[in-house]
Amino acid sequence: MERYGVGSGSARLICGHMQVHHDLECQLAALKHKEDALLFSSGYLANVGSIPALVGEDDAIFSDALNHASIVDGVRLSKARRYIYPHADVGELERQLQEHQDLHPQRRRLVVTDSVFSMDGDLSPLPALVELCERRGAIPMGDAGTAVAFSRDLLERDGILVPPIRPPTVPEGSSCLRLTLSSAHTSEQIQRLLLAFERRRPA
């Protein structure tokens, strides 16, 4: 508190930018081997801020039908032409990409998907989506936030450490959780883990 006070007092654009923000962004950029990084204060703001920055009204976005509301809002704000493909349907997505590529070969195409769909709890077919984007000249965008949030919730509520595996350990958009069991774990501990996962299973 002596160094930073109780708050920034304003948005970063005005006078809320602190050295600690700059230092963290530099560390994140180094971790990702990039020139720079930009922090958002929430996952929602990350989606509504980054999607319109990647595409505009002359481009096209291909969005999974069950994407999170923050992705949907980011797509709308971009003003790009919207294509909604059936949930996890890579075949239909390829058909839509081909149709758009035939009509507008020079325009940018962004394929955006959740990594873990929060309502149903199922996984996006990320490897197939990335391969498809490479073949069709599209940009894949996935959300690793759900895996990280799930990991944090397990630790804070149940005292169970399940690390999120995220880039650069795995390709962008393919974050997941990794369980590591050993003979030192008791049956009671394993049962507690299973119950923790069961409580988080969608109804």
Are 64 and 56 in contact by the 8 Å Cβ rule? The answer is no
Give domain status of residue 47, yes or no: no
- Average pLDDT score, the chain: 85
Residue 152: domain span? 144-203
Residue 116 shares a structural domain with residue 70: yes
Contact present, 114 and 140 (Cβ < 8 Å): no
In the predicted model, is pLDDT for residue 203 greater than 60? Answer: no
CA distances from 49 to 6, 14, 46, 67, 71 (A): 26, 17, 5, 16, 10
Q: Which of 97, 116, 143 is the last residue of a domain?
A: 143
Question: Domain with 131 in it: what CATH number?
Answer: 3.40.640.10
How many structural domains comprise the chain? 3
Q: pTM for this structure?
A: 0.66
The pLDDT tens digits of the residues spanning 81-133 come to 999 999 999 999 999 999 999 999 889 999 999 888 876 678 888 889 989 99
Note whether 178 and 193 are same-domain residues.
yes
Instruction: Output helix, strand, coil percentages for the chain, rounded to the nearest 5.
Output: 45, 15, 40
- Segment 13-43, tens digit of pLDDT: 667 788 888 999 999 899 888 899 988 888 8
Task: Give 97-128 as a DSSP string.
Answer: HHHHHHH-TTS-EEEEEESB-TTT-PBP-HHH
Confidence of residue 52 (pLDDT cuts 50, 70, 90): very high
The answer as to whether 116 is a domain residue is yes
Q: Is 155 found in the same domain as 114?
A: no
For the chain, what percent of residues have pLDDT higher than 70?
89
Pick the last residue of a domain from 125, 143, 161.
143
